[in-house]
């Protein structure tokens, strides 16, 4: 009898096996990889223009920055390079798995100036005051935003500190906030708009400065 030929693996079966293995890997990693892929989809650099965004923040060497909603560190690592070894970037997020990834990746990249911070939904829990609070695609997740940013202004911003908000526009996705809403809420929280950049294809890019606190202000 002729030797029996081994059946060839069918393409669809191979894809199913690969998908199952990927699923197991994601479960083993606590879905951190899946979240990173969601935050950093292929082609993001093209429409996000991260280097240009960071450059337009005008960060000084030695500055202190909070990356609010840092995720997998997409902006964290760029901000860390911008402020240099004498600066500090606090990567604040609610997700412990992503913060562990940021810590490991910072070590791999030699960025000793990155400090992961486990935030609370109503409090970024920054260990010290910062010159800039930066947040990208996180604003719509925050609740009671006027109170949140008022407390942030009083507790976590250094004198002359700023808040930079990059947020999806409503015409792009439902996970977004209208520019008028952001401006109204930040104004109510004690900030004034100092710069608006319009080159991002999908997002607002707004920079606010903290108003001088009035000792008679009942909102303090």
Beta carbons of 205 and 196 less than 8 angstroms apart: yes
Helices (H) and strands (E) in the chain, counts: 8, 7
CA distances for 31 relative to 6, 24, 42, 85, angstroms: 37, 10, 18, 31
Total tally of structural domains belonging to the chain = 2
125 and 32 in a common domain: no
- pLDDT under 50: residue ranges of the chain: 1-29, 215, 218-220
Q: Using one digit for the tens of pLDDT, what is the confidence trace for 72-86?
A: 999 999 999 999 999
Q: What is the pLDDT of residue 188?
A: 98
Residue 65 sits in a domain of what CATH number? 3.40.50.150
Helix (H, G, I), strand (E, B), or coil: what is residue 107?
Answer: helix
d(CA 68, CA 212): 23
Is 216 a domain residue? no
Q: What is the pLDDT of residue 42?
A: 74
> Which pTM value belongs to this model?
0.80
Q: Where are the beta strands (DSSP E) in the chain?
A: 64-68, 88-93, 114-118, 130-136, 157-168, 191-197, 203-210
| Residue appearing with tokens 């199913």 | 16
Q: What is the pLDDT of residue 32?
A: 55
Is 2 a domain residue? no
Helix (H, G, I), strand (E, B), or coil: what is residue 110?
Answer: coil
Is 219 a domain residue? no
Is 215 a domain residue? no
**Is the C-alpha dihedral spanning 136, 161, 128, 109 positive or negative?**
positive
Is 206 a domain residue? yes
**Strand pairing of 203-210 and 114-118?**
unpaired
Is 1 a domain residue? no
205 and 145 in a common domain: yes
Q: What is the pLDDT of residue 211?
A: 87
122 and 152 in a common domain: yes
Q: What is the pLDDT of residue 219?
A: 46
């Amino acid at each position: 009898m002729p030797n029996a030929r081994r059946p060839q693996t069918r393409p669809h079966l191979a894809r199913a096996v690969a998908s199952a293995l990927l699923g197991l890997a994601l479960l083993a990693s606590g879905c951190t990889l899946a979240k990173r892929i969601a935050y950093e989809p292929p082609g993001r650099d093209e429409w996000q223009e991260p280097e240009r965004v960071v450059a337009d923040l005008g960060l000084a060497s030695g500055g202190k920055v909070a990356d609010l909603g840092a995720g997998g560190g997409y902006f964290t690592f760029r901000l860390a390079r911008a402020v240099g070894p004498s600066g500090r970037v606090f990567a604040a997020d609610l997700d412990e798995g992503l913060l562990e990834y940021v810590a490991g990746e910072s070590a791999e990249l030699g960025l000793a100036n990155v400090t992961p911070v486990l935030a609370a939904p109503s409090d970024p829990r920054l260990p010290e005051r910062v010159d800039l609070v930066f947040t990208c695609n996180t604003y719509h997740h925050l609740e009671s935003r006027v109170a949140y940013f008022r407390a942030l202004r009083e507790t976590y911003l250094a004198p002359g500190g700023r808040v930079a908000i990059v947020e999806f526009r409503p015409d792009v996705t439902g996970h977004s906030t209208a520019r008028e809403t952001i401006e109204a809420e930040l104004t109510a929280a004690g900030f004034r708009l100092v710069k608006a950049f319009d080159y991002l294809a999908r997002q607002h890019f707004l920079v606010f400065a903290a108003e001088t606190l009035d000792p008679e202000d009942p909102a303090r």
